[in-house]
């Protein structure tokens, strides 16, 4: 039986989940994997949390050197979050010739190329299944199972906080502010929700997924990002009438015009499988040239779902010490200069306009659409409001820049009205 000494950095939600799973399943792993996995040390500055789950002082340390210098430890779990301390600690651990398992999506997204280089130099592993999708096994799926495919597209709900907020708005007809407050009360959203609601979290995750899917480095700086702060209950309700459901989607497409990578609120048909993914759940829809459509669904965050992904990597690392694999692409800071990124992507668009109830207004708007080659698929006019007539337009597929130019020109028209909302339709 192989002995595996493990250390854990951080004892928050994920770190405590990892410890509890390893402790509870210790005998299972002996029987099923022939591995005796033992937590040897835990780096934490909050001993109270440790005591609450039965951890004694003999396991607790406050200095990373105590872990780096312990030859009985071969795998270290980084579950601290943040960048500054975690980057220093993971670098030190890799240089001490220990493999690292991390759940830190921002760390891996921004510095994974540096950490992987150090891991290669020291002939140890760097594993990151838990960085995307919580308990969903998406990283290993892309790294191993789908390597025989050219992945054409990836479409995902990969942030549980925003999905909870949008689900709440849709299903209970509550405002964004009220839905966010409830998400914070339940612990789905942080006190400062910026990373989630402004889509930074999803952008980091899409960078990781798209790089694996398209087998080339996709820096997060190449990804178009738009969060959900501006989403209105008005548009969610109009979308429902039109047969659409609003989701914050991470979208990656490998097209003949280049690679498209974007995160933004998107209307999808209410019959689409992703439309039924509610609350804090995640789902990722992949299209490969051989396998066709694959969808993975599950809990996108939480103590035990994310802990499950981390422990899966621990067991994988323990069993593959002689066959360590790294990124299936040139993992540098920047994208390959030969890769083309297309920011003028194609989409259909939902627009809500508030227009003046005067003769000729609609003709002016349609003339601008015609100028920019925008074809209208559906137009609905609703009862006059206090400030104008609500006009809902859904376009046929067109280009992003055409829509931006048209919106700018419509908004500059005197005595016409204003474009209140633009939402892409996939």
Any idea which residues carry the catalytic annotation? 205
pLDDT score at 387: 74
Average pLDDT over residues 204-231: 97
Burial group, residue 36, by CB count within 10 angstroms (0-12, 13-18, 19+): middle
Q: Which DSSP symbol is given to 59?
A: G
Kindly report, residue by residue over 80-139, the tens digit of the pLDDT.
Answer: 999 999 999 999 999 999 999 999 999 999 999 999 999 999 999 999 999 999 999 999
**3-class DSSP assignment, residue 8:** strand
SS3 state at 54: coil
Structure confidence at residue 116 (pLDDT): 98
- In this predicted structure, the answer to whether residue 415 has a pLDDT above a threshold of 90 is no
Which domains are assigned to the chain?
A: 2-134+305-319 (3.40.50.720), 149-299 (3.30.360.10), 346-425 (3.30.70.260)
Whether the CB-CB separation of 284 and 295 falls below 8 Å is answered with yes
* Residue in this structure with the two tokens 């708007």, named with its chain if needed: 365
Confidence class for position 386, pLDDT limits 50, 70, 90:
low
Give the tens place of pLDDT for each residue, 307-317.
999 999 999 99
Range of weakest confidence among 74-78, 314-318, 387-391:
387-391
- Beta 417-425 vs 258-269: how paired, if at all? parallel
Residue 299 in contact with residue 135, Cβ under 8 Å?
yes
- The separation between CA 160 and the C-alpha centre of its own chain, rounded to angstroms, equals 9
Q: What is the total residue count of the chain?
A: 426
Q: Is 90 exceeded by the pLDDT of residue 47?
A: no
pLDDT in tens, 348-380: 999 999 998 888 899 999 999 999 999 999 999
**Spatial separation of the C-alpha atoms in residues 202 and 200, rounded to whole Å:** 6
Predicted TM-score (pTM) of the model is 0.96
Sign of the alpha-carbon torsion through 70, 76, 81, 83: positive
Tell whether the model's pLDDT for residue 411 goes beyond 80: yes
């Amino acid at each position: 039986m192989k002995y595996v000494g493990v250390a854990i950095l951080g004892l928050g939600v994920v770190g405590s989940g990892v410890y509890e799973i390893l402790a509870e399943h210790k005998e299972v792993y002996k029987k099923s994997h022939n591995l005796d996995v033992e937590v040897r040390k835990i780096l934490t500055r909050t001993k109270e949390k440790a005591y609450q789950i039965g951890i004694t002082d003999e396991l607790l340390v406050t200095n990373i050197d105590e872990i780096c210098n312990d030859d009985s430890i071969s795998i270290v779990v980084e579950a601290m979050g943040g960048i500054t301390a975690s980057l220093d600690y993971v670098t030190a651990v890799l240089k001490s010739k220990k493999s690292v398992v991390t759940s830190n999506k921002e760390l891996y997204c921004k510095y994974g190329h540096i950490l992987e280089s150090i891991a290669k130099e020291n002939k140890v592993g760097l594993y990151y299944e838990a960085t995307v999708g919580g308990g969903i096994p998406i990283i290993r799926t892309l790294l191993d199972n789908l390597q025989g495919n050219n992945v054409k597209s990836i479409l995902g709900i990969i942030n549980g906080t925003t999905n909870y907020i949008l689900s709440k708005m849709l299903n209970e007809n509550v405002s964004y502010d009220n839905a966010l407050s409830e998400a914070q009360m339940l612990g789905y959203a942080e006190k400062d929700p910026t990373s989630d609601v402004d889509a930074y979290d999803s952008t980091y995750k899409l960078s990781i997924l798209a790089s694996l899917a398209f087998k080339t480095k996709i820096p997060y700086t190449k990804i178009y990002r738009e969060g959900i702060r501006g989403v209105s209950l008005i548009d969610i309700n109009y979308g429902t009438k039109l047969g659409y459901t609003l989701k914050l989607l991470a979208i990656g497409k490998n097209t003949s015009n280049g690679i498209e990578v974007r995160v933004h609120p998107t209307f999808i048909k209410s019959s689409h499988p992703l439309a039924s993914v509610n609350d804090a759940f995640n789902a990722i829809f992949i299209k490969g040239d051989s396998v066709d459509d694959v969808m993975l669904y599950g809990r996108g965050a939480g103590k035990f779902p994310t802990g499950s992904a981390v422990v899966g990597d621990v067991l994988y690392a323990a069993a593959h010490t002689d066959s360590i694999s790294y990124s299936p692409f040139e993992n540098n800071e920047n994208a390959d200069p030969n890769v083309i990124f297309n920011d003028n992507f194609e989409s259909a668009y939902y627009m809500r306009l508030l227009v003046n109830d005067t003769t000729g207004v609609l003709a002016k708007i349609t003339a601008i659409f015609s100028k920019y080659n925008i074809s209208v698929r559906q137009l609905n006019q609703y009862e006059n409001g206090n400030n104008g007539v609500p006009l809902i337009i859904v376009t046929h597929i067109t280009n992003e820049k055409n829509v931006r130019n048209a919106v700018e020109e419509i908004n500059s028209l005197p005595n016409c009205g204003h474009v209140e909302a633009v939402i892409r339709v996939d």
